A = this chain, B = another copy of it.
Amino acid sequence: MTTIKDIARVAGVSVTTVSRALNGYHDVNEQTRQKIVRVAKDLNYSPNTLARGLVLNKSKTIGLLVSGLNRQSAKDHFTFEVLSGINECVSEQDYDLVLFNTNTSKQREKTYSQLCRERRVDGVILSGIKTDDPYLHEVVASSIPCILIDIPIQSDSVGYVTTDNVLGAKQAVEHLMQLGHRNIAMVNGHGQAFVSQHRLDGFKQGLAAGGRPYNPDWVVNGFFDEDIARVEAERLLTRYPEITAVFCASDLMALGVLKAANNLGIVVPKRLSVVGYDDILLASYASPPLTTIAQDKFQLGYEAAKLLIRMLEGQDNSRAVLLETELITRQSTTGNHV
């Protein structure tokens, strides 16, 4: 493994000069610079980022702390697409990504900042953590630059990127109302997700805008799980047959609702309209294909990385990005002809 020392020896200069030449400083004689570059190539040199990181105290590395990188959540494409977006941006900017090992099963209960300090990452992106996750407090307390996905917290070192969940949910309700639906239920995620809180807000706003009262009995939590959503929906639809439309805080849960309806012999969309959220791949393949509020998951990741790198490089702009949502109308919603 060749080092700058080797290069220095062969080129007949000092390591200092080698370092400067290779790092593109301009106070090096063009002759010597070229010679050094050539020798470096001849010797098949590649810099040791560990050594460099040690002295510079930064690593050109971004840490990634995500839930949803496991067998269970394979169905939910969300994390993957976010990751792709992050990867894309990070690649362009010549950083590398390290996926933190946040295995909780073992005894190694490392704190957030321990994790970051150990690996000397320059910054972190967090996705899929709950609002009551202990990491979250640490993030805010710590001074490590960090971008949260879908958690609207902001500070000197913390920014976030999310979609306009309030507006998205509102769009969904408005769509249903325009179709003539008056009795609209909601299958939400859970209280420990900001997106759920926001989507519920949007749901309420939508109802209010249409002059309909908000009925808490018609809102259940599906915990972003297809099967829980199915069970909850079965109960809901059985108990309140007057419901003609359901807005779900995720497509996966909407799939569960579709199943519930099917089990109960309720035809979608004829007797029940269903709107999802996310526009996951499955949405368009469901039967019937799902009307949904699309969010650009790839972009979510891309913007997160972009924002973080901006912070790291000191281009101090905003600390928050809000992406738009889009209503995708498919066949799971139709006019209500009661």
Whether A108 is near chain B, meaning CB under 8 Å from some CB there, is yes
Whether A29 is near chain B, meaning CB under 8 Å from some CB there, is no
Task: Indicate with 1 or 0, residue by residue over A45-58, a CB within 8 angstroms of chain B CB atoms.
Answer: 01111110110000
**Is A92 in contact with B71, judged by CB distance below 8 angstroms?**
no
Residues of B contacting A194 in the complex (Cβ-Cβ under 8 angstroms): none
**Is B59 in contact with A50, judged by CB distance below 8 angstroms?**
yes
Q: Among B96, B114, B120, which residue has its beta carbon within 8 angstroms of that of A100?
A: B96
Residues of B contacting A91 in the complex (Cβ-Cβ under 8 angstroms): 101-103
**Is A49 in contact with B84, judged by CB distance below 8 angstroms?**
no
**Is B61 in contact with A98, judged by CB distance below 8 angstroms?**
yes
**Is B92 in contact with A46, judged by CB distance below 8 angstroms?**
no
Residues of B contacting A285 in the complex (Cβ-Cβ under 8 angstroms): 282, 285-286
Number of copies: 2
Whether A88 is near chain B, meaning CB under 8 Å from some CB there, is yes
Residues of B contacting A105 in the complex (Cβ-Cβ under 8 angstroms): 92
**Is A50 in contact with B120, judged by CB distance below 8 angstroms?**
yes
Q: Give Cα A244–Cα B247 distance, bound, in whole angstroms.
A: 43
**Is B119 in contact with A49, judged by CB distance below 8 angstroms?**
yes
Task: Indicate with 1 or 0, residue by residue over A31-69, a CB within 8 angstroms of chain B CB atoms.
Answer: 000000000000000111111011000010100000001
**Is B61 in contact with A88, judged by CB distance below 8 angstroms?**
no
**Is B101 in contact with A84, judged by CB distance below 8 angstroms?**
no
Whether A75 is near chain B, meaning CB under 8 Å from some CB there, is yes
Residues of B contacting A99 in the complex (Cβ-Cβ under 8 angstroms): 87, 96-99
Q: Give Cα A46–Cα B287 distance, bound, in whole angstroms.
A: 52
Q: List A65-116 residues whose CB lies under 8 Å from chain B.
A: 69-71, 74-75, 77, 80-81, 83-85, 87-88, 90-92, 94-103, 105-106, 108, 110, 113-114
Q: Give Cα A167–Cα B248 distance, bound, in whole angstroms.
A: 43
Whether A298 is near chain B, meaning CB under 8 Å from some CB there, is yes
**Is A80 in contact with B87, judged by CB distance below 8 angstroms?**
no
**Is B118 in contact with A46, judged by CB distance below 8 angstroms?**
yes
* Chain B minimum-CB-distance residue to A2: B117
Q: Among B49, B74, B96, B110, which residue has its beta carbon within 8 angstroms of that of A77?
A: B74
Nearest CB on B from A226, distance (A):
12
Residues of B contacting A338 in the complex (Cβ-Cβ under 8 angstroms): none
Q: Give Cα A108–Cα B93 distance, bound, in whole angstroms.
A: 11
Whether A281 is near chain B, meaning CB under 8 Å from some CB there, is yes
| Known A71-B298, A74-B84, A95-B101: A48·B108 in contact at CB below 8 Å | no
Q: Among B50, B94, B97, B286, which residue has its beta carbon within 8 angstroms of that of A106?
A: B94
* Chain B minimum-CB-distance residue to A110: B46
**Is A96 in contact with B98, judged by CB distance below 8 angstroms?**
yes
| Known A98-B61, A99-B96, A118-B46: A87·B75 in contact at CB below 8 Å | no
